[in-house]
Amino acid sequence: MGGVFGAYAPKGRHVLEDVYLGLYALQHRGQESAGVAWVQDASPRASIETLKGIGLLHNAINQKDLLAIEANIGIGQVRYASQGSSQIRNAQPIGARYARGLVAIAHDGAFSNATDLFDRLQSRGAIFQTQCDTEAILHLMAQQPDKEPLDALVCALAQLRGGYSLAVLLEGQLVAARDPWGFRPLVLGRRDDVIYVASESCALDLVGADFLRDVEPGEVLVIDDAGIESLRVPVKAERLYHCAFEYIYTARPDSIITGVSVYQARKNLGRQLAQHHECPQADFAIGMPDSGTLAALGYSEESQLPFELAMVRNRYVGRTFIQPTDRVRDLGVRIKLNPNAAVFDGKRVIVVDDSIVRGTTARRAVRMIRDCNTAAVHLRIASPPVRYPCCYGIDTPSSEELA
């Protein structure tokens, strides 16, 4: 999981501030590292340059330093560490020079055939300096030195199975690509003569761009002086596999994924929950913040139960990093969530969560709510059980750990 962003402007205009702002809007998709890449022409020969770092965007990248750089094409990524640890070497974009020039890739997703790819590439002499699947794309391109970079990229993509939404920087071109199964979202936007690609439409909103359309599953968009050209990855998907977690958990509610409003999707999950399962007697419904809130709102509308916002999520969780000392472990989920005892006192409450993965947080939260002198607590889950780990880039535990 992660978020990618790319921007292309005519020569003479600079886009790295927009890449920064785009990543800022996508921060919810990854907090482990952030990075930006561009082509620098100044030196004796052009080079791919990057600014990358660990943690939230403003810690990872010095905004002042970035704004001082002039580049008309740029890509960036925020990373959620599904593969590898959160070390700086795994921060993206990954840039390289190969026989046909420069290339940098920002990637959201994971390959189901990664092990095969690595073995095959290594047997042909590839070295891997990161722990990201993404590096394989660079090697697949490099092992076709007879092909133009764009052709080599498309041929490389044809060998991938699994999820990838990509922003790719070639010399003079921004390329966006989405896997044929449509696992991960990717959208296209425009503001005046600047073209953007982004994991979610909320990033287009922030930079003031208009949403043009989704990048289609299996589509490769080539953006350069000649405009926007659409190619296809020569792989036939038997069906689409949109990632349900985008709607349930990952995406921001103000994003539109494959034509569906995430906000409405979440409320609908809550509505259907109320329709298909009998509602217990209760005084009100609440959501588990933040991801269960909209499902709870839908549930409340359908069931005619009052809606309350009675669990408070500490706004600074994630920014004010807390050392996991014994005392902190003891306090557990209370570091993040606090039930508003005054609202719960003596009441029967329905708690709606978006999904259950390990179940640890839900269990602890319900216990805290019970301790608020509630008359009854009912937990309802808005999405079907998670049965198997995900191999397409969502960070899920092994089967044994699933609740």
String of contacts with a second copy for each residue 120-139, x by CB under 8 A? --xxxxxxxx-x------xx
Q: Is 403 in the site for a second copy (CB under 8 A)?
A: no
| Rounded Cα gap, residues 307 and 233, in angstroms | 46
Nearer to a second copy, 318 or 384 (CB): 318
> Of the listed pieces 53-61, 186-194, 238-246, 383-391, which binds a second copy according to CB under 8 A?
53-61
> Which of 13, 47, 54, 69 forms a contact with a second copy (CB under 8 A)?
47
Q: Give me the 59-78 binding string for a second copy, x by CB under 8 A, dash otherwise.
A: ----xx--x-----------
Instruction: Decide: is 42 part of the binding site for a second copy (CB under 8 A).
Output: no
Residue with tokens 């000392």, as numbered in its chain: 325
Greatest Cα pair distance, the chain, in angstroms, is 74
d(CA 232, CA 255) in angstroms, rounded, equals 25
Close Cβ partners of 102 (under 8 Å, ≥ 6 residues apart): 39, 46, 47, 48, 95, 96, 169, 170, 171
Considering only 7, 21, 160, 243, the residue that binds a second copy (CB under 8 A) is: 21
Instruction: Choose the stretch contacting a second copy; rule: CB under 8 A; options: 52-60, 222-230, 273-281, 348-356.
Output: 52-60
Kindly tell me which residue out of 70, 171, 205, 224 binds a second copy, with binding defined by CB under 8 A: 205
Q: Is residue 213 within the footprint of a second copy (CB under 8 A)?
A: no
Minimum distance, C-beta of residue 239 to a second copy, in the bound complex (Å)? 26
Among 44, 239, 278, 323, interactor with a second copy by CB under 8 A: 323
- DSSP letters, 365-381, are HHHHHHTTT-SEEEEEE
Angle at 235 between CA 229 and CA 239, to 5 degrees: 105
Residues 293-322 contacting a second copy, CB under 8 A: 293-294, 297, 301, 306-310, 312, 314-316, 318-322
305: phi then psi, degrees, rounded to nearest 5: -85, 145
Phi, psi of 36 (to 5 degrees): -135, 145
Among 46, 54, 58, 402, the residue binding a second copy under the rule CB under 8 A is 58
Of 200, 236, 237, the residue nearest 215 (C-alpha): 200
Binder of a second copy out of 254, 275, 358, 376 (CB under 8 A)? 254
3 state SS of 178: strand
Q: Is 249 in the site for a second copy (CB under 8 A)?
A: no
| Total residues at interface with a second copy (CB under 8 A) | 86
Dihedral sign for Cα atoms in the order 341, 344, 349, 350: negative
User: Is 399 a binder of a second copy (CB under 8 A)?
Assistant: no
